[in-house]
Structure 1
């Protein structure tokens, strides 16, 4: 029989779900190269490839067969062909803007282990979707709020989460849509550079975010009495400030957060949290000529009575600090450790830290490609963001499951 690719699920899976890949109909112990390709919404190509040898029966199951050296990865890595996808255009990040359409994954099996692909033996296509059947996507334009709400299927009430992204503005829905597939009512919230929101805010008013909390709590399908917050980078910093000043925040999962105000100050009623000073001249140039900005921010723990530090000791919420040990944008592991020491000194134990080696600034849901060097979110120059391929792929899967377990426990 001719070689063919067997996938499970066969035609379509969710982007953050594993995909079982096998090939049948090969010759006994035949050497082949498998390649995956995916084009983003701008047409940029991401690819990964790995070298394998079929079993005596001509079958190749990636859950049991290790990849041989010479491809994008080696060893027993059933999902390697997904997490090892890398852009053909250097320093390009995979972003999903339209969550209503899936990414199309192309799989090919080539003969041999040559530098150039051999004869094409088999191919298949598979959709990697962002919305489970029945999940509803609801654009929200209520009062000042600019957001998208994702509701799981059914008429029940669900734990509510507000998802807040980092610098760069706009409205990003991918993480919120994936979270809704797991049973959470999730609001992807924009806060600048979107529609009629400020383009370059001089300060971030926590009243805007309070409006979003109230919107969620008044929604008939959001289970109270409070909401959870999931924030990345500047969005995690916003989430921490919300927990310190606003009511009804039950749980905060923070991905690589500065724990002080950075770049844009916060204001709430008559209180201002000024931004910590950053010194661009403290950036270092790495051996590969990229900039490393990890030391540019004033250390908020070294200046006594520092006003830019977010007063987390006031917060009643539970905190999950997820940090990459190789983060070159924010000293996130140091910040999380120091802020938890302060909270402990106040007699609080409402926090935990998950620290991941080989993981940089960007911590996306599983199977989003590593983005180790790219445009710095603040200085807009090419910079080291950090992370290493295999370690990051393990961190993504573990952190994503921990975020869900954390919200299930506390919401």
Structure 2
């Protein structure tokens, strides 16, 4: 962990040229992931590695656990955690695989990983134990929903590009033959990778997944306010279909009477919906202005939801 850089800030150079290619002007500025008043600490749990970010001298603050996707390690989770800490939250970026001393692959990851993070946060004097949130994106969104269905400590969740079901684990670029997640030593039922669905998805230009009924995440057991964000053009899995399925089951459960459910469906970006105001060169078919607008809307919705419900 100690050798992983923080990337607190970076310098941006904007250069302006006329139609002849001659430079008119330039301007430099800094983009901060982590403001100077935000402190950090490396944490080695038994099942995971983490970085804690917290505003200096803060007291009785809400806290958020941050889970990134199938990229593993901690770099992307920590960038999100840093930005949230700038807003006055105590944040804990968790790496659940891919670092020394923890699982190498995204395969049979214990949900107790998240539970350890919760117990650590509520032990901190600067954290209000009754205001713990959870953020997950992509595979981390799947993990977040699974964790919240068995861990009762969360007041609210934000999941970005989620799956409605537990999917098969991965060993690098191969399917593991096992579940992505376990709890109390048992694998959660999962939907296996289907080569037929994959080929059909390529033919039709959209991902196709036939979920196993017993692999659906137990959204009915999530006792927390929930925001789900997805895009119609998700190229990895059908996130909007998952959101609609989760919403139907949520609305038929007791949770709908006690907790707020919000959804945000976006039009002009894909699965890799990043935080706002940074380049996203993955999607060539969308105008950069539309990509920027979607990322702004997603990020502002995330901040607003945590601020309102945490």
Shorter-chain TM-score range: 0.7 to 0.9
Distance 1:186 1:101, change over 3 A: closer
Deviations 1:268-289 (A, max 9, x none): 1265322212223433599xx9
Show CA shifts across 1:101-159 (max 9, x none).
4222112232x324xx2x22322322212111210011111443310011013232211
Q: TM-score, normalised by structure 1?
A: 0.66
8 Å CA contact 1:284, 1:292 repeated in 2: no
Residues 223, 255 of structure 2: 8 Å contact kept: no
Give yes or no for the alignment of 1:335 onto 2:242. yes
> Structure 1 residues 310 and 387 mapped into 2: Cα distance closer, same or farther (>3 Å)?
farther
Partner of 2:279: 369
Alignment partner for residue 134 of structure 2, among 220, 226, 229?
229
Aligned residue in 1 for 2:175:
none
> Does structure 1 residue 409 correspond to structure 2 residue 308?
yes
Q: Distance in 2 between matches of 1:292 and 1:284?
A: 10
Structure (1/2) with the larger helix percentage: 2
Residue deviations 1:35-93 (CA, integer Å, cap 9, x gap)? xxxxxxxxxxxxxxxxxxxxxxxxxxxxxxxxxxxxxxxxxxxxxxxxxxxxxxxxxxx
The residue aligned with 1:394 is 293
- CA distance in structure 2 between the aligned counterparts of 1:319 and 1:357, rounded to whole angstroms: 21
Give, in whole Å, the separation in 2 of the partners of 1:225 and 1:168.
31
CA distance in 2, matches of 1:109, 1:165: 36
Q: Deviations over 1:165-223 (max 9, x none)?
A: 00021112111101100111011100001121111253121112211111111111111
Look up the match of 2:211. Answer: 299
Partner of 1:352: 262
**What is the 5 A alignment of 1:224-303?**
224-264=129-169, 265=179, 266-269=181-184, 271-284=186-199, 294-295=207-208, 297-300=209-212
| SS of corresponding position for 2:241 | helix
Q: 1:316 — aligned with what? A: 223
Larger radius of gyration: 1
TM-score of the two chains, using structure 2 as the length reference: 0.86
| From 40, 54, 64, the counterpart of 1:137 | 40
Match of 1:160 in 2: 63
Change (3 A) 1:252 1:388: farther
RMSD value over aligned CA atoms? 2.4
Structure 2: unaligned runs, 5 residues or longer: 170-178
